[in-house]
Structure formats: C-alpha cells, structure tokens
C-alpha cells in the first residue's frame, strides 16, 4: 500500500538528507560524482561509468557488448558510441532507433551478461507504453511520406543569416539607439538559433549542429548534458541539466532548500547571462588540469564561437574594443534568453514529477516517465517557428529525439490515442502557466505524493 502523505514526506526527507539512494527510486544508489567538481559532461560520464556495471564495454539492458569495431560504422556517427563507452546505453539505444533492424545488428557484438542490476529505474516492456508507441510511430512514418524537415532547415539557416547581418549592423551603426536595436535583434537571433540547432544535435552528424557552437558553448558537451543525460533520465538525480545548476538553483523539491535557492527565479537573472562563456571556459581550462582532455574531448569546433567576432571585424572594420564589447553583450544576452526559454519550456512545473516526488511505479516504463516529467504548451505547439525556436512539441520530441521537429505534429493523434490506451499522464499548459509554474517549482519544498 502506498504510504500516506505524511509518511512519504518523512521517508523522502530522510532519503534526501542521507544521499545514499535516489529519493523517488530507492533501489538505485546515489549517483557517484553528482555533487562534486565541475558538474560537467565529462564528470557525468565518468560517474555513470562507475555506477553502470558496463565493465568498460557498452551495456544494453542486462547484456554487455563490445562495439569497438562498430564505432566507425555507426550510421548515427562515431561520437555517440565514443562518448558512451563504459556506460549503460539502454535508454539511448531504445529511444534513438525506430527501425527494429538495430536489435539484430546489436546481437553481433554480444560479449556476456552483466554482473549487476541496471542502474536505472526505467523499463522497456515489449507490450508497454513506449515500445508500443514506437512500433506504431514507425509504421505511421512509413505511411506518411510528406517531409516537412526542409522548413526546419530554412528557419535555422534564416536565423543564422539574421545573426550575421544584425551583429554586423550593431558594429556599423553609430547612432546609440540603432546600436541598441541591432544588438537586441542579434541576441534574440543567437538564442533562437541555439534552440533551433538543438533539433540537429540529436541526430546523426550534420553541419547544422556545429552552428550551436556560435554560442561559445560546445554541441559535444550538450550532446552529453542534454541528449544523453537530461533526455534519458529526465528530472531524476541523473539529469545533469538539474545538477549542473545546483546549488544555486535547486529544481528538485527539498525540505531544507535554502532561501537563496527558493528565490532562484530571481537570482537566475544574475547568472544565466554568463553560462555560455563559463561553459567555454570550463572546457578550455580542462585542457590544463584534466589528463587526456585535449586528445579525448577538445575539438576543432570548440573555436567556432570566435567566428562571430571575426566576422564582425572583417565586414565592418570597427575598432577591436567595439567588436569585443558588442560581441560579449550579444553572447551574454543570448545566454540569458536561451536559459529563460529552457527553464520555462516543459519540466520545471510542480505538476511534472521530480526526484523527491512519489512515483506511481518504482520501475516505470521509460516513455510513461517522460510524459509524467513534462507539460506541453498548447500555445507554442501550433506553429512550426515557435516549435523549433522555443522547444515546442516537447513530449513527442523527448520520446523520439531523432525526428525532425516538423514531423512531430503529424504524430500527435496517434500519440494521444496510445496515451489514452495506457493511461499515460499527458498534460498540457500554456507558456504563461509554465512561467508561473517555474517560479513555484524553484520555491517548492514539499514532496508530492501520488494522490496530490
Ligand atoms: C549511445 C547509444 C546510441 C546513440 C545515441 C545512437 C544514435 C543514433 C542516431 C542519432 C542515429 C541517426 C538516426 C536518424 O537519423 O534517424 C542512429 C542511427 C543508427 N544507429 Fe545508433 N545510436 C546508439 C547506439 C547504437 C547501437 C549500439 C547500434 C547497433 C549496434 C546502433 C545502430 C544504428 C543504426 C543501424 C542506425 C541507422 C538506423 C536507420 O537508419 O534506421 N546505434 N543512431
């Protein structure tokens, strides 16, 4: 029998304080390296390797595979398998492939059974919500040949060109108000471009994903923090998009949340502007204090962010200081806007399950958990531009991250049908309600039970 509200509150608080297990999933040990060091993607992957029982190989469910000879052949690109060596890739494997042929290919690389239970609460039962939906989506996509993805490409390319033009105008202009105008346009274009690029980062290697680095952040890091962590373990203790912001911003409910964290919806305005630059600095300085970082994690595309000031200088010939100041303003304002869009998009609302809340099931279906951990915004989902630039169609995007955002709306009727069949807890909201929800969520200290 489920514990009453008071007993859940007490149990959850004890688990949260002891930090030995997850609060919502006590069968899992507290993630190694979660609360120490840089809280960056490399550390997250190292901690996961310690906990996953993959024995230096790749784990899928309870089997270990040696994919060394497959890495270069992987149609989705080498990077995914290179990054995840030594970890459990079950969630990534299940959610990134619709075509059942991948399971046959995987069999060829089987080595042995894993010795420990999986370090994840999620299940993928053949007749469960996610696998059923996946099979139906695969059939639906085969029927529906209309390819709208060109529109997403156009939106992304348009934002990139607008960023180049407006940043140059911001340097060219002499009039104070014109400078302010073009700088604002440029910052908005940068923030929206970075969100739009995220559509491409989830997929096989492609040139548009590199545009993400115009922010000074790294798409490679984002592949870990967003694609492999946030998307696969949404709102759990393994979600790096939550732990990386701690202890300044604490989205998971905790009884002992300090006042500064409860006021996170205000303090976030002070540090969101610097996250793009800080992310660049973290990667750059890691070269000097992390063994092997230069060879294993630093790449030529880490320098792409400097193309924007170089472009501004080449086309306008403005003095160095003017270029530097204008560019830094654009990057910092872009960072603020990007993060404000992100934290108000789907997950940070009291109705979305977080670690600490009582789960309906301690071993939930992965897809059902995704639906439970977010709210879709109906006013954003109606238009492709807002979907692409404001993280719209969030539920379907989480469930099928490799599909272009333009395709998702066609899958909605089928998605709702399967949600109803499996009683998945799909909810919608509006952008305004999400902003209010984010404020409440930063202040939330109580643990929700399944009845409230
Ligand atoms: C970390 C785990 C993995 C990730 C994140 C990943 C990611 C991806 C991505 C993004 C694509 C491109 C999908 C598309 O454009 O539609 C892809 C395709 C593919 N991957 Fe993986 N992959 C992973 C592991 C594996 C494994 C273990 C295998 C098999 C041994 C595999 C086999 C394939 C195949 C065959 C395709 C082409 C599928 C098709 O075209 O229908 N992947 N993968």
Torsion region of 381: left, alpha or beta (phi above 0 gives left; psi -120 to 50 gives alpha): alpha
Does position 201 have pLDDT exceeding 60, yes or no?
Answer: yes
The whole-number average pLDDT for the span 265-272 is 93
> pLDDT at position 378, please?
93
If pLDDT is split at 50, 70 and 90, which confidence band does 148 have? confident
Q: Look at the alpha carbons of 65, 66, 71, 72 in this order and tell me if their dihedral is positive or negative.
A: negative
**CA-CA distance, 162 to 152, in Å (whole number)?**
15
In eight-state DSSP terms, residue 386 is: H
The β-bridge partners of 88 are 59
Q: Find the 374 Cα to ligand 1 centroid distance in Å.
A: 25
Q: Which ligand 1 atom is the nearest neighbour of the CA of 202?
A: 10
> pLDDT at position 244, please?
93
Percent share of the chain, pLDDT over 90: 89
Question: What confidence tens digit (pLDDT) does each residue in 333-385 have?
Answer: 999 999 999 999 999 999 999 999 999 889 999 999 999 999 999 999 989 99
> pLDDT at position 450, please?
82
Whether the Cβ atoms of residue 373 and residue 424 lie closer than 8 Å to each other: no
Q: Tell whether ligand 1 has an atom less than 6 A from the beta carbon of residue 158.
A: no
Phi/psi for 444 (5° steps) reads -65, 130
Question: What confidence tens digit (pLDDT) does each residue in 12-57 have?
Answer: 999 999 999 999 999 999 999 999 888 999 999 999 999 999 999 9
Phi/psi for 112 (5° steps) reads -165, 175
> Chain-wide mean pLDDT for the chain?
93
The β-bridge partners of 401 are none
Whether the Cβ atoms of residue 264 and residue 249 lie closer than 8 Å to each other: yes
Continuous segment of H or E residues that includes residue 92: helix 90-96
Q: Find the 101 Cα to ligand 1 centroid distance in Å.
A: 10
In eight-state DSSP terms, residue 355 is: B
Does position 197 have pLDDT exceeding 80, yes or no?
Answer: yes
**CA-CA distance, 68 to 81, in Å (whole number)?**
9
Q: Find the 166 Cα to ligand 1 centroid distance in Å.
A: 38
> pLDDT at position 71, please?
96
**CA-CA distance, 146 to 12, in Å (whole number)?**
48
Name the residue with higher pLDDT: 256 or 193. Answer: 193
Q: Tell whether ligand 1 has an atom less than 6 A from the beta carbon of residue 74.
A: yes
If pLDDT is split at 50, 70 and 90, which confidence band does 451 have? confident
Closest protein CA for atom 21 of ligand 1: 76
The whole-number average pLDDT for the span 176-197 is 96
Phi/psi for 198 (5° steps) reads -60, -30
If pLDDT is split at 50, 70 and 90, which confidence band does 127 have? very high
Mutate which of 63, 68, 76, 233 for ligand 1 pocket (most atoms within 8 A of beta carbon): 76
Closest protein CA for atom 11 of ligand 1: 76
If pLDDT is split at 50, 70 and 90, which confidence band does 142 have? confident
Q: Tell whether ligand 1 has an atom less than 6 A from the beta carbon of residue 67.
A: yes
Does position 6 have pLDDT exceeding 90, yes or no?
Answer: no
Question: What confidence tens digit (pLDDT) does each residue in 50-99 have?
Answer: 999 999 999 999 999 999 999 999 999 999 999 999 999 999 999 999 99
Does position 5 have pLDDT exceeding 70, yes or no?
Answer: no
> pLDDT at position 143, please?
84
> pLDDT at position 144, please?
67
Mutate which of 66, 75, 103, 134 for ligand 1 pocket (most atoms within 8 A of beta carbon): 75
Does position 281 have pLDDT exceeding 70, yes or no?
Answer: yes
Q: Tell whether ligand 1 has an atom less than 6 A from the beta carbon of residue 105.
A: yes
Question: What confidence tens digit (pLDDT) does each residue in 286-305 have?
Answer: 999 998 999 999 999 999 99
**CA-CA distance, 444 to 440, in Å (whole number)?**
6
> pLDDT at position 137, please?
95
Phi/psi for 269 (5° steps) reads -65, -20
Within 10 Å of residue 372's Cβ, how many Cβ atoms? 22
Q: What does the chain come to in residues?
A: 452
Does position 110 have pLDDT exceeding 70, yes or no?
Answer: yes
Dihedral of the alpha carbons of 343, 347, 348, 354, in degrees to the nearest 10? -140
Q: Tell whether ligand 1 has an atom less than 6 A from the beta carbon of residue 402.
A: yes
Closest protein CA for atom 23 of ligand 1: 93
If pLDDT is split at 50, 70 and 90, which confidence band does 149 have? confident
Q: Which ligand 1 atom is the nearest neighbour of the CA of 81?
A: 1
> pLDDT at position 145, please?
64
> pLDDT at position 452, please?
66
Closest protein CA for atom 32 of ligand 1: 102
Tell me how far apart the terminal alpha carbons of the chain are, to the nearest angstrom. Answer: 16
Q: Find the 258 Cα to ligand 1 centroid distance in Å.
A: 42
Q: Find the 97 Cα to ligand 1 centroid distance in Å.
A: 6
């Amino acid at each position: 029998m489920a514990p009453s509200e008071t007993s859940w509150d007490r149990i959850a608080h004890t688990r949260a304080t002891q930090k030995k297990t997850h609060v919502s999933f006590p069968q899992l040990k507290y993630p190694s390296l979660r609360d120490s060091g840089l809280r960056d993607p490399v550390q997250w992957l190292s901690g996961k390797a310690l906990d996953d029982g993959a024995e230096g190989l790749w784990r899928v469910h309870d089997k270990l595979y040696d994919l060394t000879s497959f890495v270069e052949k992987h149609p989705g690109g080498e990077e995914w398998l290179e990054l995840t060596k030594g970890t459990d890739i079950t969630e990534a494997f299940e959610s990134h492939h619709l075509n059942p042929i991948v399971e046959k290919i995987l069999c060829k690389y089987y080595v042995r059974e894993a010795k420990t239970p999986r370090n994840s609460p999620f299940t993928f039962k053949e007749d469960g919500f996610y696998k059923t939906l996946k099979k139906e989506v695969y059939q639906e996509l085969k029927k529906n040949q209309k390819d709208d993805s060109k529109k997403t490409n156009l939106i992304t390319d348009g934002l990139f060109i607008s960023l180049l033009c407006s940043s140059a105008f911001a340097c060219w202009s002499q009039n104070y108000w014109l400078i302010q105008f073009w700088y604002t346009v440029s910052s908005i274009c940068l923030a929206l471009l970075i969100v739009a690029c995220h559509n491409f980062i989830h997929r096989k290697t492609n040139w548009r994903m590199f545009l993400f680095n115009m922010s000074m952040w790294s798409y490679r890091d984002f592949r870990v923090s967003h694609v492999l962590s946030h998307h696969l373990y949404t709102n759990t203790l393994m979600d790096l998009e939550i732990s990386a912001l701690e202890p300044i911003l604490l989205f998971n409910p905790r009884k002992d949340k300090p006042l500064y964290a409860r006021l996170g919806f205000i303090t976030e305005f002070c540090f969101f502007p610097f996250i793009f630059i800080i992310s660049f600095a973290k990667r750059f300085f890691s070269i000097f204090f992390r063994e092997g970082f230069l060879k294993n994690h630093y790449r030529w595309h880490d320098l792409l962010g400097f193309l924007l000031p170089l472009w501004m200088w080449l086309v306008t010939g403005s003095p160095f200081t003017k270029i530097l100041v204008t560019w830094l303003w654009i990057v910092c304002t872009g960072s603020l806007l990007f993060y404000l869009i992100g934290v108000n998009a789907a997950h940070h609302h009291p109705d979305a399950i977080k670690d600490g809340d009582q789960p309906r099931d301690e071993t939930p279906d992965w897809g059902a958990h995704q639906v439970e951990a977010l709210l879709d915004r109906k006013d954003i989902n109606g238009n492709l531009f807002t979907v692409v630039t404001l993280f719209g169609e969030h539920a379907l995007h989480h469930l099928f991250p490799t599909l272009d955002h333009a395709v998702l709306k066609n899958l909605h009727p089928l998605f709702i049908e399967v949600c109803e069949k499996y009683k998945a807890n799909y909810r919608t909201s509006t952008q305004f309600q999400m902003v209010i929800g984010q404020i409440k969520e930063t202040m939330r200290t109580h643990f929700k039970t399944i009845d409230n």
